[in-house]
Chains A and B, each alone.
Chain A
Amino acid sequence: MLDYLIKRLIQIIPVLLLVSIISFSIIYIAPGDPAMTLCAGPDGQVDPEYVEEFTKKYGLDQPLYVQYFTWLKNVLHGDFGYSYKTQQPVWDIVLSAFHATLKLAIVSLVISLIISIPLGIISAIKQNSLTDTFCMIGATLGVSMPNFWLGCLLMLIFAVSINWLPAAGYGDGGDLEHIILPAITLGVSSAAITARLMRSSMVESLSQDYILTARAKGVSERTITLKHAMKNALIPVVTMIGLNFGFLLNGSPVVETIFCWPGLGELTVRSMEMRDHMVVQGCMIFIALLFIAVNLVVDISYKFLDPRISYENE
């Protein structure tokens, strides 16, 4: 286990380096002078004096690799620069956006599991029945549905037509009323994927010998399904949480923008529109680190959940 952990951590180092290079070079693929790009406001107006000062301050007149290492050193010291727009430290902006995203992601995850696990189990028990077909058609529709469309439809129905919920906004620190619609929007597509996984994993688990033994012993179908089969079928679903998290993050730019939810996705889109590149860079690094950390934790917890897995051959 410890060997595995060390191996994983060593493997992460080159990935981290590459991630930093990708994030760093984003600014340089923009056509034109990077200092101009970094200094230019939304309307593209640049103050030449400020550019000069900025170039000196961030060493933009130095060779690229020197710039990269200076930048990397700053990042490692927690200095992600300042927003062009608000002059606030990027790190603070990103952190508060992360707070909103995390809240939304957790509620979405819960909603997605509440929908998907029962659906997956029912489909598996009634394999190839009409119910199963319906559930799986629903899942395919869920994967194919554009999340911004679903979001707009939900907003139209629940906020505009019948006025049950607020249409958009963060409310009082992201309260339940404001979180429901974006969380459902974000949760549906990941629920669709999880339901399919739960079904196939449950089907496999129901065909195992120990289920046959339990049946022969006269254990009730209910106990077999809920206790014996479901426990093992959940293992791959748990590992999916890492992937699901990536999925939820992926949906966040669109969903957060529609519902004016001040999270990382909305921040990235807004900063990109305002050409506030420092903030964009900060978001990218933060998200990448988050994703690496989540996957590491999921991989390790997998081991505790399923002792049959060995990491020897990895």
Chain B
Amino acid sequence: MKMNNSRFNNIVGHIKRSRSATLGTIIILLLILAAIFAPILAPYDPIETNVEDRLMKPCIEHPLGTDHLGRDVYSRLLYGARISLTVGIVVVGISALIGVILGIFAGFYGGLTDSTIMRLVDAFLTFPSVFLAIVIAGVLKPGLVSVIIALIVVGWTKYSRVGRGSVLSLKEKEFVESARSLGVHDRYIMFRHIFPNIITPIIIVATLGMADAILSLASLSFLGFGPQPPTPEWGAMLNAGRPFMQTDPHLMIFPGLAIMILVLGFNLLGDGLRDILDPKREIIE
């Protein structure tokens, strides 16, 4: 436990030294706080419609205006942060778990196991991820769960590649050899000795993966394959605002800005972490 603590402190210390990582962390923390405290921060209900107040320009009562059903855009954006962050965390968490386990197996055992898993990765990578996600989310019933499943199916491959690559470079190290010669069980070596050493590259890929997942969720919702109305999802909000583009561009501009800021936060943090933790860019790319 103590070791983990020092590693954590180390990462925090590193983040402070990188401008882009600091900025990214601040953006992400602010948006996480906004999502957690959405019920307190939001002046209006995100779903309840109020036709009298429809299509209002930004004003004092409605800082970001209202949509075509009279719902407060600012309140909806706050609740939307919850959806984007939750989907991001669930998708990245599960796909990293699946990907890393398969990657470690592939790298550790080599041979047929390795080629089977890696050819599977190659096959999934031949489909552009948005296409595959659209097809999966479309065949299942469009909705939040379908999008999560679709994004996991397209997301796990990158973690396998990183996991496998790291294991291959560690496999020949003395500490693994000595554990082996002592007759330690394979699974114990993989998850007790090798796994802690590949956490760093996985964290970097996962941070950039968050940006990717949030952007893909927004794309799928924009196309109508995501959470259905009246869910305040950012991509879906933007799409709903399209018909009013000419008269009420704020309906389109603010949800897009929200998506961009959150994605930017994770990209900045991911890039910063990569520069700090993997300066030679050996593992990723």
List the interface of chain A (C-beta within 8 A of B).
11, 14-15, 18-19, 22, 26-27, 29-31, 140-141, 143-149, 152-153, 155-156, 160, 246, 249-251, 253-254, 257, 265, 268-269, 272-273, 277, 280, 283-284, 287-288, 291-292
Q: Chain B contacts of A145 at CB under 8 A?
A: 256, 260, 263
Q: Please pick, from B126, B238, B263, the residue contacting A152 in the complex, using a CB distance under 8 A.
A: B238
Q: Please pick, from A30, A144, A268, the residue contacting B134 in the complex, using a CB distance under 8 A.
A: A268
Q: Chain A contacts of B222 at CB under 8 A?
A: 146, 148, 254
| Separation of A26 and B150 alpha carbons in the complex (Å) | 12
Number of A-B residue pairs having CB atoms within 8 Å of each other in the complex: 133
Question: Are B124 and A22 touching (Cβ within 8 A)?
Answer: yes
Question: Are B256 and A284 touching (Cβ within 8 A)?
Answer: no
Question: Are A140 and B268 touching (Cβ within 8 A)?
Answer: yes
Q: Is B246 an interface residue, CB under 8 A from the partner?
A: yes
| Size bracket of the B interface | 35 or more
Interface of B is mostly: helix
Of the stretches B36-44, B65-73, B135-143, the one at the interface is B135-143
Q: Please pick, from B119, B225, B235, B271, the residue contacting A148 in the complex, using a CB distance under 8 A.
A: B235
Q: Which residue of A lies closest to B123 (CB)?
A: A18
Q: Please pick, from B127, B134, B259, B264, the residue contacting A272 in the complex, using a CB distance under 8 A.
A: B134
Question: Are A140 and B131 touching (Cβ within 8 A)?
Answer: no
List the interface of chain B (C-beta within 8 A of A).
20, 115, 119-120, 122-124, 126-132, 134-136, 138-141, 211, 215, 218-219, 222-225, 235, 238-239, 242, 245-246, 249, 252-253, 255-256, 259-260, 263-264, 267-268, 271
With A146-B235, A148-B222, A268-B131 known as contacts, the answer to whether A22 contacts B260 (CB < 8 A) is no
With A140-B264, A149-B260, A257-B223 known as contacts, the answer to whether A269 contacts B126 (CB < 8 A) is no
Question: Are B139 and A27 touching (Cβ within 8 A)?
Answer: yes
Interface of A is mostly: helix
With A18-B120, A18-B123 known as contacts, the answer to whether A149 contacts B264 (CB < 8 A) is no
Q: Chain A contacts of B235 at CB under 8 A?
A: 146, 148
A sample of 6 cross-chain residue pairs with beta-carbon separation below 8 angstroms, ordered by A number, consists of A140-B268, A250-B128, A254-B130, A284-B131, A287-B131, A291-B126
With A141-B260, A272-B135 known as contacts, the answer to whether A246 contacts B128 (CB < 8 A) is yes
Q: Chain A contacts of B134 at CB under 8 A?
A: 253, 268-269, 272
Q: Closest Cβ of chain A: how far from B242's Cβ, in Å?
A: 6
Q: Chain B contacts of A27 at CB under 8 A?
A: 139
| Separation of A265 and B220 alpha carbons in the complex (Å) | 12
